Amino acid sequence: MLLATMPDPHYECEQLALANRHIAEGEERLAKQRHLVEQMAEKGQGTAEAKRMLRDFEAVLEQFYIHRQLILDALARG
Protein backbone atom coordinates (compact mmCIF):
# COMPACT_ATOMS: atom_id res chain seq x y z
CA MET A 1 0.00 0.00 0.00
CA LEU A 2 1.37 3.40 -0.99
CA LEU A 3 0.98 6.25 1.42
CA ALA A 4 0.49 9.75 0.08
CA THR A 5 2.90 12.19 1.63
CA MET A 6 2.33 15.87 2.06
CA PRO A 7 4.95 18.07 0.45
CA ASP A 8 7.42 19.59 2.88
CA PRO A 9 7.19 23.35 2.22
CA HIS A 10 10.75 23.98 3.45
CA TYR A 11 12.15 21.30 1.15
CA GLU A 12 10.04 22.51 -1.77
CA CYS A 13 11.26 26.09 -1.24
CA GLU A 14 14.86 24.87 -1.29
CA GLN A 15 14.14 22.95 -4.47
CA LEU A 16 12.49 26.02 -5.98
CA ALA A 17 15.58 28.11 -5.26
CA LEU A 18 17.75 25.45 -6.86
CA ALA A 19 15.46 25.23 -9.90
CA ASN A 20 15.55 29.01 -10.27
CA ARG A 21 19.34 28.93 -10.15
CA HIS A 22 19.46 26.20 -12.78
CA ILE A 23 17.14 28.24 -15.00
CA ALA A 24 19.22 31.39 -14.62
CA GLU A 25 22.41 29.51 -15.42
CA GLY A 26 20.72 27.76 -18.34
CA GLU A 27 19.46 31.04 -19.78
CA GLU A 28 22.97 32.46 -19.53
CA ARG A 29 24.48 29.44 -21.31
CA LEU A 30 21.80 29.64 -23.98
CA ALA A 31 22.51 33.33 -24.61
CA LYS A 32 26.24 32.64 -24.88
CA GLN A 33 25.65 29.78 -27.30
CA ARG A 34 23.35 31.93 -29.46
CA HIS A 35 26.01 34.62 -29.56
CA LEU A 36 28.65 32.04 -30.48
CA VAL A 37 26.50 30.72 -33.34
CA GLU A 38 26.03 34.28 -34.63
CA GLN A 39 29.76 34.99 -34.46
CA MET A 40 30.61 31.76 -36.23
CA ALA A 41 28.07 32.47 -38.98
CA GLU A 42 29.44 35.99 -39.46
CA LYS A 43 32.94 34.54 -39.91
CA GLY A 44 31.68 31.98 -42.39
CA GLN A 45 32.46 29.09 -40.08
CA GLY A 46 30.37 25.94 -39.95
CA THR A 47 27.65 26.20 -37.33
CA ALA A 48 26.02 22.77 -37.51
CA GLU A 49 27.52 21.43 -34.28
CA ALA A 50 27.05 24.74 -32.44
CA LYS A 51 23.40 24.83 -33.54
CA ARG A 52 22.92 21.24 -32.38
CA MET A 53 24.29 22.21 -28.98
CA LEU A 54 21.99 25.24 -28.97
CA ARG A 55 18.97 22.99 -29.53
CA ASP A 56 20.18 20.69 -26.76
CA PHE A 57 20.54 23.66 -24.38
CA GLU A 58 17.02 24.79 -25.30
CA ALA A 59 15.63 21.31 -24.57
CA VAL A 60 17.37 21.13 -21.20
CA LEU A 61 16.17 24.61 -20.27
CA GLU A 62 12.60 23.60 -21.16
CA GLN A 63 12.92 20.66 -18.74
CA PHE A 64 14.15 23.07 -16.05
CA TYR A 65 11.01 25.20 -16.58
CA ILE A 66 8.81 22.11 -16.32
CA HIS A 67 10.57 21.02 -13.13
CA ARG A 68 10.11 24.47 -11.60
CA GLN A 69 6.40 24.38 -12.43
CA LEU A 70 6.05 21.00 -10.72
CA ILE A 71 7.63 22.48 -7.60
CA LEU A 72 5.33 25.51 -7.75
CA ASP A 73 2.34 23.19 -8.13
CA ALA A 74 3.45 21.19 -5.08
CA LEU A 75 3.79 24.39 -3.06
CA ALA A 76 0.34 25.56 -4.16
CA ARG A 77 -1.17 22.27 -2.99
CA GLY A 78 0.79 22.77 0.26
For 24-76, how does the pLDDT look when each residue is reduced to its tens digit (9 = 90+)? 999 999 999 999 999 999 999 999 999 999 999 999 999 999 999 999 999 99
pLDDT in the model for residue 25: 98
pTM: 0.84
pLDDT value of position 60: 98
For residue 44, with 0-12 CB atoms within 10 Å meaning exposed, 13-18 middle and 19 or more buried, which class applies? exposed
